[in-house]
């Protein structure tokens, strides 16, 4: 869930899973995205493509009903979805409007729980779930504002869901991805500057790719991660361990 185009993090995850032999279904938000998502799914051998707006409970029900009808069960689910009004992804957090606060929390946080309420019922032999988060949940990042607050709540949801669903053999994890140029990220103020800063200051002195997030996702979704749950795995070239600007970092 959350494939928009071939720059999406969901695309890196889908490719890694398909390469490992997974049979995939894709949900997309709105008819406009179908012309991108349809061919991408097809290139991975899937014609199982279903519309779903996670803000609409009926749309979520329809998606999971369809999965039940076609597959009868589900091994894993990937939630690579986030949204906030981009006019509030710049300036001051304190100015966040109540409408955008509620909408960002609904689409970027609650939707993962809503997905798990439905996915749980299809994971009869256990399963795995993954969502995507960002370092702005832990530390203040420029312009990330209400999304930082939303990601903090999303990471807490991962832990609570892991506890609730663990008894049924369902694992719930998150990847905290480094900055990647995607449609969603381009809505964040000064994103190019933030990407450069990460490149110069992360221990690996570079940014990460969708493919790299995909490989770590495969670990968490597959049997390779069979004892890992409630975890937020940083796939960020190590940026989260750094305390200050690197001495060799150029000025930007």
H or E stretch covering 133: strand 127-133
**Smallest gap, in angstroms, from Cβ of residue 182 to ligand NAD?**
3
Identify which of residues 202 and 226 has a Cβ nearer to ligand NAD in the complex: 202
What is the C-alpha separation between 232 and 42, in angstroms, rounded?
A: 31
What is the C-alpha separation between 153 and 133, in angstroms, rounded?
A: 10
Q: Give, as ranges, the residues between 183 and 242 that touch ligand NAD (CB under 6 A).
A: 183-185
Is-catalytic flag, 144? yes
For the record, the structure tokens of 161 come out as 């869901």
DSSP assignment string, 187-234: GSTTHHHHHHHHHHHSTTSS---HHHHHHHHHHHHSGGGTT--S-EEE
For the record, the structure tokens of 50 come out as 């279903």
**Residue 107 is assigned to a ligand binding site:** no
**Residue 81 is assigned to a ligand binding site:** yes
**Smallest gap, in angstroms, from Cβ of residue 124 to ligand NAD?**
26
Identify which of residues 55 and 169 has a Cβ nearer to ligand NAD in the complex: 55
Specify the stretch interacting with ligand NAD by CB under 6 A; choose among 96-104, 118-126, 132-140, 158-166: 132-140
The size of the interface with ligand NAD (CB under 6 A), counted in residues, is 27
Q: Which of 134, 160, 193, 239 is catalytic?
A: 134
Q: Which of 28, 135, 144, 239 is catalytic?
A: 144
**Residue 13 is assigned to a ligand binding site:** no
A 10 A CB-CB count for 138 gives: 16
What is the C-alpha separation between 236 and 251, in angstroms, rounded?
A: 21
Tell me which of 25, 49, 74, 80 binds ligand NAD, using CB under 6 A. 80
What is the C-alpha separation between 18 and 74, in angstroms, rounded?
A: 15
**Residue 180 is assigned to a ligand binding site:** yes
H or E stretch covering 153: helix 145-166
4 binds ligand NAD (CB under 6 A): yes
What is the C-alpha separation between 196 and 127, in angstroms, rounded?
A: 37
What is the C-alpha separation between 10 and 177, in angstroms, rounded?
A: 12
85 binds ligand NAD (CB under 6 A): no
9 binds ligand NAD (CB under 6 A): yes
**Residue 77 is assigned to a ligand binding site:** no
**Smallest gap, in angstroms, from Cβ of residue 179 to ligand NAD?**
4
Q: Could you list the residues known to form a binding site for NAD(+), using ranges.
A: 2, 8-9, 29, 53-54, 81, 151, 180-184
| Residues lying near ligand NAD in the complex (CB under 6 A) | 2-4, 8-10, 29, 33, 52-55, 80-83, 107, 132-134, 177, 179-180, 182-185
């Amino acid at each position: 869930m959350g494939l928009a185009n071939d720059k999406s993090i969901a695309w890196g995850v889908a490719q890694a899973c398909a390469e490992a032999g997974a049979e995939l279904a894709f949900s997309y938000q709105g008819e406009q995205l179908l012309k991108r998502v349809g061919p991408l799914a097809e290139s991975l051998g899937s014609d199982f493509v279903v519309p779903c707006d996670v803000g609409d409970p009926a749309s979520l029900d329809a998606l999971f009903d369809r999965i039940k009808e076609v597959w009868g069960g589900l091994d894993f689910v990937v939630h690579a979805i986030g949204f906030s009004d981009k006019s509030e992804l710049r300036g001051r957090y304190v100015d966040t409007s109540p409408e955008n606060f509620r909408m960002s929390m609904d689409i970027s946080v609650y939707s993962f729980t809503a997905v798990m309420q439905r996915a749980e019922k299809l994971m009869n032999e256990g399963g795995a779930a993954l969502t995507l988060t960002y370092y702005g949940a832990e530390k203040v990042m420029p312009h990330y504002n209400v999304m930082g607050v939303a990601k903090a709540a999303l990471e807490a949801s991962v832990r609570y869901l892991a506890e609730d669903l663990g008894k049924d053999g369902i694992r719930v994890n998150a990847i905290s991805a480094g900055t990647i140029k995607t449609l969603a990220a381009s809505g964040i103020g000064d994103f190019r500057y933030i990407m450069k800063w990460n490149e110069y200051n992360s221990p690996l002195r570079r940014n990460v790719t969708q493919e790299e997030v995909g490989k770590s996702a495969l670990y968490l979704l597959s049997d390779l991660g069979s004892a890992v749950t409630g975890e937020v795995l940083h796939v960020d070239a190590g940026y989260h361990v750094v305390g200050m600007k690197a001495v060799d970092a150029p000025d930007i």
